[in-house]
Amino acid sequence: MQLKTFEEDNLVKRKVYTSKPPLKVEYSLTDFGKTLIPVIQSIAEWGVQTVENQKK
């Protein structure tokens, strides 16, 4: 359901390969979705720093 929502919000694009069984589906970021990469990287860095600070 989350991937469907992301697709509806134009964050990911879905490509279905039906040329031969089994059915294959690929998801990739759209250009709009790629604009979230710096935000996600910042959140990940914050998480790493938080864990390191809690170890001290």
Rounded-to-integer distance, Cα 41 and Cα 54, Å: 20
Q: What is the average pLDDT across 7-36?
A: 94
Rounded to two decimals, the pTM is 0.74
The encoded tokens of residue 9 equal 């919000």
Rounded-to-integer distance, Cα 36 and Cα 34, Å: 5
Average pLDDT, the chain: 94
What fold is seen in the domain 2-55? Arc Repressor Mutant, subunit A (1.10.10)
Q: Pick the closest to residue 13 from 1, 29, 31 (CA basis).
A: 29
Q: Pick the closest to residue 15 from 24, 26, 7 (CA basis).
A: 26
